[in-house]
């Protein structure tokens, strides 16, 4: 039996946004190309970059050179549809050799798969000692909606997004897969907060709810493929795939319900009927909802010096829109401006490097690592 999360907060419906105007004063330069289906990237303390490949490969970018990195002991990879080897992060406390590397992936078979978190040690040449830290439950079938972004917080815990499991008629157990996002007894359709060992983080706000899984941080999410943290304030944002229309940017707070599928700005793929309603008491309204959908993947909070006018903005990669969208806020956190960096290729990830520069991965069989620089 599902356990539903409900509160009694009323929020105003927001105005959806279309394609923003073009940004000026920037250009994209290629750092390296030929990366096989890149999905996520993370920097080592020495400035080199680890890039995941969706089919289960890992690559080390050192200047203009790319080297394959063997990964020893990876669990059974389900590389189909949207699944595969996905995001990556390096433990922020590891500054020298033998860094702990965290990766998310879909594991299992076409009939029973799930998002898992693994951790290994990178010794400079290979990742070894890989162990599974966390496995989402329940298992699902098919190749849709794994979520799978991870980010470390200042307290050393990490957030991990889990997709809802798929579009109708996809089912998990006795319910539509998407209804798992309102089920406190399921990890699917949520953001989790975990320790560095993959255990439930202390103080998770939903842990005391009857029937709630202790890892849950927020629920009511469809498929989050971008999470960003302000390193100063600790505020967290997420970019979320809606259905047909209704992609969202949300300010994420622990214990909150973000509405899916009861509250949505999108429509069902097959019937084209609205999914849920735009305002449900107790559900958090997005900061921004895009119609049509850019299909957001990758998100960063920008603090670099190359573009002073962008500081304090979010930058969101777009798969369908083939762009990066900059979202600016006022002092109260309201969206006041958007603009589009037209990349012309599907953008899978956007990150700020330790050098303060903005980087992006293109989603192709032979993808590129781009650096965004002033024109």
> CA 106, CA 113: separation in Å to the nearest integer?
7
> How big is the CA angle at 249 (ends 234 and 286), to the nearest 5 degrees?
100
Tell me how crowded residue 360 is: count the other CB atoms within 10 A of its CB.
26
| 8 A C-beta contact, residue 129 and residue 120 | yes
> How big is the CA angle at 56 (ends 51 and 60), to the nearest 5 degrees?
25
> CA 159, CA 253: separation in Å to the nearest integer?
11
314-318 and 323-329 strand pairing: antiparallel
224-229 and 236-240 strand pairing: antiparallel
> Which entry of 145, 187, 221, 241 is annotated as an active-site residue?
145
> CA 79, CA 99: separation in Å to the nearest integer?
26
Tokens of 1: 């039996």
> CA 147, CA 241: separation in Å to the nearest integer?
9
Tokens of 207: 């842990």
> CA 294, CA 249: separation in Å to the nearest integer?
12
190-194 and 224-229 strand pairing: unpaired
Peptide bond into 48 cis (omega under 30): no
- Report DSSP letters for 256-280, one per residue: -B--TTTB-S-B-TTT-PBPSBS--
Active site annotation includes 128: no
Q: If you search the block for the tokens 């650096």, which residue do you land on?
A: 371
Task: Locate all alpha helices (DSSP H) within 63-222, ordered by sequence.
Answer: none
Tokens of 111: 């009939």
Query: Residues of 48-60 as b/e, b for ≥16 C-beta within 10 angstroms?
Result: ebbbbbbebbbbb
Active-site positions read 145
């Amino acid at each position: 039996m599902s356990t539903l999360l409900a509160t009694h907060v009323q929020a105003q419906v927001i105005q959806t946004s279309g394609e923003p105007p073009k940004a000026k004063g920037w250009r994209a330069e290629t750092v390296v190309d030929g990366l096989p289906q890149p999905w996520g990237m993370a920097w080592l303390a020495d400035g080199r970059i680890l890039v995941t490949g969706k089919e289960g490969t890992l690559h080390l970018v050192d200047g203009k050179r790319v080297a394959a990195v063997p990964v020893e002991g990876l669990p059974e990879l389900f590389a189909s549809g949207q699944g595969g080897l996905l995001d990556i992060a390096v433990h922020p406390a590891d500054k020298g050799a033998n860094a702990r590397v965290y990766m998310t992936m879909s594991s299992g078979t076409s009939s029973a798969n799930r998002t898992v978190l693994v951790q290994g040690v990178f010794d400079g040449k290979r990742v070894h000692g890989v162990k599974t830290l966390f496995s989402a439950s329940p298992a699902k079938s098919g190749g849709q909606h794994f979520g799978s972004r991870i980010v470390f917080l200042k307290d050393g815990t990490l957030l991990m997004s889990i997709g809802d499991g798929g579009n109708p008629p996809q089912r998990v157990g006795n319910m539509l897969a998407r209804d798992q996002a309102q089920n406190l007894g399921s990890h699917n359709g949520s953001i989790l907060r975990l320790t560095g060992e993959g255990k439930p983080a202390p103080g998770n706000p939903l842990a005391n709810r009857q029937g709630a899984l202790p890892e849950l941080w927020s629920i009511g999410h469809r498929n989050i493929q971008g999470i960003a943290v302000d390193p100063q304030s600790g505020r967290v944002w997420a970019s979320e795939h809606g259905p047909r229309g209704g992609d969202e940017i949300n300010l994420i707070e622990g214990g909150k319900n973000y509405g899916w599928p009861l509250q949505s700005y999108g429509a069902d793929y097959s019937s084209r009927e609205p999914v849920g309603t735009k305002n449900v008491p107790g559900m958090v309204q997005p900061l921004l909802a895009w119609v049509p959908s850019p299909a957001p993947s990758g998100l960063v909070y920008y603090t670099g010096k190359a573009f002073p006018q962008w500081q304090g903005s979010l930058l969101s990669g777009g798969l369908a829109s083939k762009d990066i969208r900059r979202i600016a806020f006022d002092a109260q956190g309201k969206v006041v401006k958007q603009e589009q960096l037209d990349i012309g290729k599907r953008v899978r990830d956007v990150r700020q490097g330790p050098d303060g520069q903005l980087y992006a991965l293109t989603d192709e069989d032979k993808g590129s690592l781009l650096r965004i620089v002033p024109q």
